[in-house]
Amino acid sequence: MSHTTPLSSGNGYGFNSRAPLKIAIIGGGLVGSLAALSFARRGHEVHLYEYREDIRNAELVQGRSINLALSQRGRKALAEVDLEQEVLATAIPMRGRMLHDIKGNRTVVLYDPCTHQCLYSVGRKYLNEVLLNAGEKYANIHRHFEHKLNYVNLSEGRMEFKRMQTKEVVEDFADLVVGCDGAFSSVRQQLVKKPGFNYSQEYIEHGYLELCIPAKNGEFQMPENYLHIWPRDEFMMIALPNQDKSFTVTLSMPFKVFATIQTTADLLKFFHKYYADAVPLIGEERLIKDFFKTRPQHLVSIKCYPYHYGSKALVLGDAAHAMVPYYGQGLNAGMEDCTQLMSLFNQTSLSTAEVLQQFTELRWRDAHAICDLAMYNYVEMRDLTKRASFRCRKWLDTLLFRWFPSAWVPLYNSVSFSSMPYSKCIANRKWQDKLLNNVLISTVLAVIAIIIAIYFGVF
Amino acid sequence: MSHTTPLSSGNGYGFNSRAPLKIAIIGGGLVGSLAALSFARRGHEVHLYEYREDIRNAELVQGRSINLALSQRGRKALAEVDLEQEVLATAIPMRGRMLHDIKGNRTVVLYDPCTHQCLYSVGRKYLNEVLLNAGEKYANIHRHFEHKLNYVNLSEGRMEFKRMQTKEVVEDFADLVVGCDGAFSSVRQQLVKKPGFNYSQEYIEHGYLELCIPAKNGEFQMPENYLHIWPRDEFMMIALPNQDKSFTVTLSMPFKVFATIQTTADLLKFFHKYYADAVPLIGEERLIKDFFKTRPQHLVSIKCYPYHYGSKALVLGDAAHAMVPYYGQGLNAGMEDCTQLMSLFNQTSLSTAEVLQQFTELRWRDAHAICDLAMYNYVEMRDLTKRASFRCRKWLDTLLFRWFPSAWVPLYNSVSFSSMPYSKCIANRKWQDKLLNNVLISTVLAVIAIIIAIYFGVF
């Protein structure tokens, strides 16, 4: 149902004096539907193209809906389109990590024992639906589902789509083409061909596979307010709670380890050895069925520069900076792209080309930084969480955070619970490391001095 | 003119027992035509596809033929197809760098004062012709010029070409598709879409533009047996001699500096300031004409992994590892790909898939290493060559090389005048740096000890 475009939105942006553009958004996922909404609220003519069917009509498979960890940056972006409360109302707060050791012992490590901030587990489908539904209020959003982008001429803003149902090819033109079409973006594929466009894609040696811990008697089988982790050095498993009281379980390990599991017996032996406590929760029958149903999927980290092409094209979200999923920041970073882009679009003194240029310059260091952090956190989650030195540092960080909440924000907290630029989060952590090292060295030297003093009978 | 395939080639390889494959080579440039020749000598059915016309029928513009620095690795590859002597016969040896300072003073830095090895300036067109002509002897090479690859299905080895003249689309199948189609390879474009394929393209901030120092009275205007360099910190110019007694001059500088030169007056002011000695050699009129004729070109460094897809596809040369041109190793590395690939194809116990897999594993570290070295040498050529510390190190390297010719091979010499794997060249240099640092520290400590000893009257 479409209404007329509100001339003034309720969040204080108002209808700015920038001339309305015809904007084509490629990809109607989370970032695409948020971008469509954000542009529509500013009076632009938005065409949202998505190659799949409308997700609101798609079937939801129980326990298999991929869930996401929503944190500060995503919440902020939702707040700016007045949807934060609606999303949080049904999200499941996760206050910390619940670590499962190989014997089945569980330990809780809170994300933020001081100010009690937490992550929120939200269903991808649900979030997408909320964003699409919110867009229905705007007559200036035109949705085109089952339209696959065949080709885009970036200089002309000319696009060719194939209608998935009829195979018919249709053409459209836009002043600005915004690629929100994910890690394997077709829009970016054209950017990659432009001289001066830097690009890298790096696959990790680990694949992932999704399993499910179903609800039992209508209840969660594990405490639901945690992100569950089974760290096992070279591999690991995590589980996030779903609205339907199931958990979506993600098993990550090197492809070569996946390759060693060929039979039901291999699988059960492996699970009983490494994830014994999870076997009764998943159920052997379901484990076997889900494990062998699909092949492990690849994980890729993508960086590029710039994100735009003149005044005609832009990539956002995974299309600009896909990352491995181990910091839970993929969605949050993509949504923060929208926040930052819109803050530039609000500056009416800037031309579209200037907005896009400034967006690239504002964003690239932080996008590269979060890609690097996600890669680092993969090591932390499967390995460091088990180490005493990591827990000791965590304890020290928490203590200092409690004493100096504005001066000492631990890395994880600055990334997940603040809007500090990602690159600054890293710089901040480096500064903390340096300080702690200096304190450690000074302490050791002081202790040596005291021992010498005692030895020579000064005291 | 085609003859029948010789059953046994003259270089000792013979016709091995590997079943002949139908091999499609995409790109008839230097690496493509060398690969075609090498496969044909082993009895394979080779289809060489090139989107341009036959270079042997193309017009040569005087002084504008791009020349290349042929060194050890390229020579070795040519020797293996019995063409080294033919190529060297007309190549111009370059014994060292001739540095032009801002006042026009010239200094010679020999590449190898000990064993007198040198680089050879060869014309790209000439070398390509020699390779294509050599291929004419083999009835099992089928040349298809003006065929542009539209699409390749790597799993099926199915290719679609557009005939440039008729626009007709033709299809072909091959057991193995070898992409020798340069930095912007269409074959690699399909590899990039495969999960697990790592790829990066990095453009540098400097562009380049070609100029010409023509022959004068039928003679070279500068000593011809040198690679001429005008190092100017942020930018530089180089010149290589051509057969027709001209020099091809390459001006490299940041795009932003190019952008400051808009008028004839800007250009002449710039050249008289930085390259005063070159102005009369190029001639003002020709300088103005050539400079404004084309826009500066981009330079890109490309790395990827793996180089193959199953038993069906492979990329070689710039398609696998394009590099910035400052080590003069692009051609040599591409030709060395052929040497190494053929040494694996000679092992008849290996299946095609194993050959390709082993080629990737054998080659990727070295290909990445030479891309990095080329980037490093850019800094060296425009900056370090002017510094006293660089010249001092060069002198020390030469001295040690003279004393210990097998134990102390300087970096440049190991890269250009040996077949040491590129990654080992870097490791070797690191070992040398460490040793020299240790010697330096020991010397300083010894001097201090002597001074103290003298001070306290030990002597």
DSSP run (H or E) holding A370: helix A352-382
CA of A197 vs chain B CAs: smallest distance (Å): 7
Q: What is the mean pLDDT of residues A361-373?
A: 96
Helix (H) or strand (E) holding B293: helix B284-293
User: What is the token pair recorded at A224?
Assistant: 């639901």
The pLDDT value recorded for residue B407 is 81
Q: Say if B201 is an interface residue toward chain A (CB within 8 Å).
A: yes
The per-residue pLDDT for range A395-433, each reduced to its tens digit, is 888 888 888 877 888 888 899 999 999 999 988 888 888
Query: What stretch of H or E contains B413?
Result: helix B411-416
User: Using CA atoms, how far apart are residues A371 and A364, in angstroms rounded to an integer?
Assistant: 11
Quote the ipTM score.
0.85
Residue A361: count of CB within 10 angstroms of its CB:
12
- pLDDT given for residue A454 in this prediction: 84
Report the alpha-carbon distance of residue B30 to residue B36 in Å, rounded: 10
The token pair that represents B103 in the structure block: 């006042």
d(CA B66, CA B85): 21
A-chain residues within 8 Å CB-CB of B184? 193
CB atoms under 10 Å from CB of B155, counted, come to: 12
- Whether the pLDDT of residue A106 is over 80: the answer is yes
A135/chain B closest Cα distance in angstroms: 33
Contact indicator for B89, B148 with CB cutoff of 8 Å = no
- Minimum CA–CA partner of A305 in chain B: B202
């199915």: which residue's tokens? B158
Residue A356: per-residue pLDDT: 98
A394 Cβ partners below 8 Å, 6+ apart? A109, A410
User: Which H/E stretch holds residue A250?
Assistant: strand A247-254
CA distances from A424 to A115, A334, A335, A368 (A): 21, 18, 18, 12
Whether the CB of B200 is below 8 Å from some CB of chain A: the reply is yes
Q: Which amino acid is at A295?
A: R
Q: How is residue A99 written in tokens?
A: 């670590």
In terms of Cβ atoms closer than 10 Å to its own Cβ (0-12, 13-18, 19+), residue A372 is middle
Tens digit of each residue's pLDDT, chain B (459 residues): 334 333 333 333 444 468 999 999 999 999 999 999 999 999 999 999 999 999 999 876 554 557 899 999 999 999 999 999 999 999 999 999 999 999 999 999 888 887 889 999 999 999 999 999 999 999 999 999 999 999 999 999 999 999 999 999 999 999 999 999 999 999 999 999 999 999 999 999 999 999 999 999 999 999 999 999 998 888 899 999 999 999 999 999 999 999 999 999 999 999 999 999 999 999 999 999 999 998 999 999 999 999 999 999 999 999 999 999 989 999 999 999 999 999 999 999 999 999 999 999 999 999 999 999 998 887 777 666 667 777 788 888 888 888 887 788 888 889 999 999 999 998 888 888 888 888 888 888 888 888 888 887 765
| CATH 3.40.190.90 is right for the domain spanning A9-96+122-202+300-377 | no
A295 reaches B (C-beta below 8 A): no
B199 part of contact set with chain A, CB < 8 Å: yes
- Examine residue A113 and say whether the peptide bond preceding it is cis (omega within 30 degrees of 0): no
Per-residue model confidence (pLDDT) at position A11: 37
Please provide the average confidence, as pLDDT, over all residues in chain A: 90
DSSP letter string over B71-137? -HHHHHHHHHTT-HHHHHHH-EEE-EEEEE-TTS-EEEEES-TTT---EEEEEHHHHHHHHHHHHTT
Structure tokens at B246: 């001209």
Residues 393-452 of A with CB under 8 A from B: none
Nearest by CB to A199, which of B184, B193, B200? B200
DSSP string, A21-78: -EEEEE--SHHHHHHHHHHHHTT-EEEEE-SS--GGGSPPPTTTS-EEEE-HHHHHHH
Gap between the Cα atoms of B74 and B293, Å rounded? 32
Q: Hey, is the C-beta of B193 within 8 angstroms of any chain A C-beta?
A: yes
Please state, as a whole number, how many other Cβ atoms lie within 10 Å of the Cβ of residue A188.
25
Output DSSP code: residue A233: T
B165 in contact with chain A, both atoms CB, cutoff 8 A: no
- Sequence-ordered strand ranges (E) for A79-118: 92-94, 96-100, 106-110
B13 at the A interface (CB within 8 A)? no
Q: What is the edge-to-edge ordering of all strands in the sheet holding A96-100?
A: A106-110, A96-100, A226-232, A235-241, A247-254, A206-213
Pairing of the two strands B235-241 and B308-309: unpaired
Residue B222 burial by Cβ neighbours in a 10 Å radius (0-12, 13-18, 19+) = middle
Cβ pair A200:B203 closer than 8 A: no
Contact A400, A408 (CB under 8 A): yes
Looking at residue B267, what is its pLDDT?
A: 97
Q: Shortest Cα distance from B303 to chain A (angstroms)?
A: 9
Phi, psi of A16 (to 5 degrees): -85, 175
Query: DSSP readout, B271-284?
Result: HHHH-GGGHHHH-H
In a mutational test of the B interface, the residue from A150, A190, A199 whose CB has the highest number of chain B CBs within 10 Å is: A199
Chain A closest CA to B184's CA: distance in Å?
Answer: 8
User: Do residues A423 and A369 make contact, with C-beta atoms less than 8 angstroms apart?
Assistant: yes
CA distance B1 to B143: 12
CA distance linking residue A26 with residue A148, whole number of Å: 9
- Strand pairing class (B176-179; B45-49): unpaired
What is the CA angle B48-B52-B53, rounded to 5?
Answer: 90
Residue B302 has phi, psi (to 5 degrees) of -125, 130
Considering only the beta carbons, identify the residue of B184, B201, B298 that sits closest to A199. Answer: B201
Two tokens, residue B413? 């010499």
- Contact by Cβ (8 Å): A247, A228: yes
Residue B3's pLDDT is: 40
Q: Which of A195, A196, A200 sits opposite B200 (nearest CB)?
A: A200
Say what the pLDDT of residue A4 is.
36
Q: Which residues contact A239 (CB under 8 A, 6 or more apart)?
A: A213, A222, A227, A228, A247, A248, A249, A250
- Residue B68 contacts residue B331 (beta carbons within 8 Å): yes
Chains A & B: contacts with CB separation below 8 Å: 36
* Token pair 């390990």 in the structure block, residue: A253
The string of pLDDT tens digits covering residues A2-48 is: 333 333 333 334 444 689 999 999 999 999 999 999 999 999 999 99
**The tokens 């197809």 sit on which residue?**
B81
Question: Which one-letter DSSP state was computed for residue B175?
Answer: S
d(CA B83, CA B30): 13
The predicted pLDDT at position A60 comes to: 63
H-run or E-run covering B287:
helix B284-293
Question: At A201, is the secondary structure helix, strand, or coil?
Answer: strand
A193 contacts on B by Cβ (under 8 Å) = 184
Show residues of chain B in contact with A198, CB under 8 Å: 200-203
Q: What confidence tens digit (pLDDT) does each residue in A378-390 have?
A: 777 766 666 777 7
With contact defined as beta carbons under 8 Å apart, do B54 and B316 qualify?
A: no
- With tokens 């996760």, the residue in question is A94
Q: For residue A235, what pLDDT is reported?
A: 86
Of B368, B322, B369, the closest CA to residue B188 belongs to B322
pLDDT for A339 equals 97
Q: Which residues of chain A are within 8 Å of residue B305 when distances are taken between CB atoms?
A: none
Residue entry with tokens 């010789």? B6
